[in-house]
């Protein structure tokens, strides 16, 4: 604990959600309660040097690039201030991994930026949000912590690896093969591996995104039994800039879809192959025509491609 401030940036999610019935953990409306009210309801936070700001109030399925722009600006502003030790961001679970990856890609912060969330609404009989907030703050205040991470159910995940893997359980996130960065146990951190890198900090990536008048259009399509050229052809006709294909297995694509993707690529559309498998990565081969996503999931490969197209 450093004595410096932790800034809490709120964006909504189930953590700020309410239901009519305390026993209803799924029939709720996300993003209803303000961050001041949520923090005031957690006695363990009394006396901590927190400063809270409501940046957005959305169900994270409705996350937009415009909100990301606002969030990136607020993060950069607070991170530049000496009296700020780190940031905590409250977020819905559904697109948390995308926001985490985006922020790590554009900021690669030398201070901790800790996203947290909840699987149950604030009005639940036993909400998980308050404990997640307490744990996330322990990480944000930890000496040596840096980079963008997510804290959920006592586990610290790096932005590169974190992915929502369960629709209902409180421990909904996994870091896949990489494993978590560590755990928060009664306020103490037990670290298993390094914090996210700060080496990738890139002023152009950050500035290009924030200053862009319009962002490139990058869509995700999926390979599946019976996949064909139709979706790719329709997107190309609309003027797409990039395409990520959530391929099967180790990056395989139905021959008809593959032909359409190669045609799109030869017409100037950037195409990247990820995999729809929840674990593992597409292993590259020297004769690959469609480049692989370097281990990124489809949603993260989309963000990486968007930033690459902006560069």
Interface positions with ligand SIN (CB under 6 A):
13-14, 30, 59-61, 92-94, 117, 119
Q: Which of 11, 14, 116, 155 is catalytic?
A: 14
Q: Which of residues 152 and 290 has its CB atom nearest to ligand SIN in the complex?
A: 152
Among 81, 17, 93, 72, which residue's Cα sits nearest to residue 49? 81
Closest separation between CB of residue 143 and ligand SIN, Å?
Answer: 30
Q: How far apart are CA 157 and CA 80, in angstroms?
A: 24
Q: Which of residues 57 and 202 has its CB atom nearest to ligand SIN in the complex?
A: 57
Is 14 an active-site residue? Answer: yes
Among 221, 244, 216, which residue's Cα sits nearest to residue 231? 221
Closest separation between CB of residue 95 and ligand SIN, Å?
Answer: 6
Closest separation between CB of residue 114 and ligand SIN, Å?
Answer: 16
Q: How far apart are CA 195 and CA 148, in angstroms?
A: 8
Q: Which of residues 63 and 189 has its CB atom nearest to ligand SIN in the complex?
A: 63
Query: What's the number of CA atoms in the CB half-sphere (13 Å) around residue 82?
Result: 0
Q: Which pair of tokens denotes residue 96? A: 């948390």
Rama region for 268: left / alpha / beta (φ>0; ψ in -120 to 50; rest): left
Q: Which of residues 54 and 198 has its CB atom nearest to ligand SIN in the complex?
A: 54
Q: How far apart are CA 113 and CA 94, in angstroms?
A: 18
Q: Which pair of tokens denotes residue 39? A: 């923090």
Q: Which residue is nearest to ligand SIN (CB)?
A: 92
Closest separation between CB of residue 276 and ligand SIN, Å?
Answer: 21
Largest distance between two CA atoms of the chain: 62
Backbone angles phi, psi at 280, to 5 degrees: 85, 180
Q: Which of residues 30 and 89 has its CB atom nearest to ligand SIN in the complex?
A: 30
Closest separation between CB of residue 17 and ligand SIN, Å?
Answer: 7
Residues serving a catalytic function are: 14
């Amino acid at each position: 604990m450093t004595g410096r401030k932790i800034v809490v940036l709120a964006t909504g999610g189930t953590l700020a959600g309410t239901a009519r019935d305390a026993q209803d953990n799924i029939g709720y409306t996300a993003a209803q309660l303000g961050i001041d009210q949520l923090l005031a309801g957690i006695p363990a936070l009394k006396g901590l040097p927190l400063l809270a700001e409501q940046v957005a109030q959305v169900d994270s399925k409705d996350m937009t690039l415009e909100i990301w722009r606002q969030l990136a600006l607020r993060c950069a502003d607070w991170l530049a201030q000496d009296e700020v030790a780190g940031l905590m961001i409250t977020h819905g679970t559904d697109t948390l991994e995308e926001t985490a990856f985006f922020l790590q890609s554009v900021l690669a912060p030398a201070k901790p930026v800790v996203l947290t969330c909840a699987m149950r609404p604030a009005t639940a009989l036993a909400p998980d949000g308050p404990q997640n907030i307490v744990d996330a703050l322990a990480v944000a205040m930890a000496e040596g912590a840096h980079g963008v991470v997510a804290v959920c159910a006592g586990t610290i995940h790096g932005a590169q690896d974190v992915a929502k893997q369960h629709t209902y359980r409180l421990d909904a996130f996994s870091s896949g093969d990489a494993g978590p960065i560590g755990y928060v146990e009664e306020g103490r951190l037990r670290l298993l591996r390094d914090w996210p890198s700060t080496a990738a900090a890139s002023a152009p990536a950050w500035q290009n995104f924030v200053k862009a008048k319009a962002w490139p259009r990058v869509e995700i399509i999926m390979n599946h039994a019976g996949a064909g050229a139709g979706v790719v052809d329709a997107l190309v006709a609309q003027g797409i800039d990039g395409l990520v294909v959530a391929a099967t297995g180790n990056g395989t694509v139905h021959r008809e879809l593959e032909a359409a993707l190669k045609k799109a690529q030869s017409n100037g559309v950037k195409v990247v192959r990820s995999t729809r498998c929840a674990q593992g990565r597409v292993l590259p081969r020297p004769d690959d025509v469609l480049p692989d996503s370097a281990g990124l999931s489809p949603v993260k490969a989309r963000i990486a491609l968007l930033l690459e197209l902006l560069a």
